[in-house]
């Protein structure tokens, strides 16, 4: 079923399958930060991220969000619909953290209501610069109608995730989404994991995400395992 390697990124590898409409995404244990300048590998990180992502895609599907998720091929391998990725990263921010509290007069930890949606141009070459709709249109990244749709979907995803994670004692300061086109539809793609979201413990406001790695805040795998424990407790049973 798993065939040749199509693409290998910083933390995931994508393989062809027997069916040209489906791909296999392997979540690896490697991780990078600061445009690839900081690198590491942490055992089981790929497994936890794959399981968290799968569960959150299932939750979103149940709530009417169309995603690329089909199922799991193994603990850290996801089967997804093949899409053409739109080169816009949607970042939704509920609480000021990271760069936004450095670039603008927001205080770290300050609630952002209504949530702030930011678009970045997905480009390693240009370092993912922030863009707006006019730049995206001029670059031919997406149509206005597509941008309306992905913004609206990102806010819907945010409402669903904030509610669900809140029930499990987690805050969602911010996260990044990617979308793709497939058969005339726009699907939520990529991943929703500790690598692409900030998760804070509600009680202690401790980071349970990639910031542990970015800023040497402690045991990365313990943080990812803690999120998995709350989001996908089934994987720890038996
Ligand atoms: N993010 C991501 N990939 C990126 C850029 C951002 O997953 O290429 C996520 C990141 O983990 C964080 C959120 O999006 O949860 C906001 O990140 P951004 O880079 O905008 O800001 P910073 O980390 O500098 O605050």
For residue range 29-63, what is the model confidence (pLDDT) as tens digits? 999 999 889 999 999 999 999 999 999 999 999 99
pLDDT of residue 120: 98
Q: Which atom of ligand 1 lies closest to the CA of 175?
A: 15
**For ligand 1, atom 7: residue with the closest CA:** 196
**For ligand 1, atom 19: residue with the closest CA:** 99
For residue range 5-22, what is the model confidence (pLDDT) as tens digits? 999 999 999 999 999 999
156 to each of 92, 160, 163, 188, 229, how far by Cα in Å? 11, 6, 11, 12, 24
Residue 20 CA, ligand 1 centroid: distance in Å: 31
Neighbours of 148 (CB within 10 A): 12
Mean local confidence (pLDDT), 181-195 = 97
Ligand 1 — pocket residues by CB below 6 A?
89, 91, 97-100, 128, 174-176, 196-198, 210
Q: Which of 195, 222, 219, 225 is nearest to 30 (CA)?
A: 195
Phi-psi region of 98 (alpha: psi -120 to 50; beta: other; left: phi over 0): left
Q: Which atom of ligand 1 lies closest to the CA of 176?
A: 14
For residue range 164-181, what is the model confidence (pLDDT) as tens digits? 999 999 999 999 999 999
């Amino acid at each position: 079923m798993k065939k040749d390697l199509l693409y290998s990124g910083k933390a995931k590898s994508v393989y062809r399958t027997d069916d040209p409409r489906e791909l296999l995404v392997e979540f690896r244990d490697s991780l990078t930060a600061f445009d690839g300048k900081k690198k590491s590998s942490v055992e089981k990180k790929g497994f936890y991220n794959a399981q968290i992502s799968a569960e959150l895609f299932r939750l979103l599907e149940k709530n009417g969000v169309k995603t690329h998720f089909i199922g799991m091929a193994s603990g850290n391998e996801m089967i997804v619909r093949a899409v053409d990725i739109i080169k816009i990263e949607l970042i939704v921010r509920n609480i000021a953290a990271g760069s936004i509290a450095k670039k603008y007069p927001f205080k770290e930890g300050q609630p952002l209501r209504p949530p702030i949606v930011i678009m970045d141009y997905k480009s390693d070459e240009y370092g993912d610069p922030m863009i707006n709709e006019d730049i995206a249109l001029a670059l031919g990244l997406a149509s206005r109608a597509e941008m309306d749709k992905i913004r609206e979907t990102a806010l819907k995803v945010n409402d669903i995730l904030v509610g669900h994670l809140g029930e499990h004692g987690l805050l969602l300061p911010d996260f990044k989404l990617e979308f793709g086109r497939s058969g005339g539809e726009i699907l939520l793609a990529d991943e929703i994991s500790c690598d692409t979201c900030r998760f804070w413990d509600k009680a202690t406001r401790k980071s349970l995400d990639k910031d542990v790695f970015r800023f040497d805040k402690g045991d990365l795998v313990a943080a990812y395992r803690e999120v998995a424990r709350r989001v996908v407790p089934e994987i720890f049973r038996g």
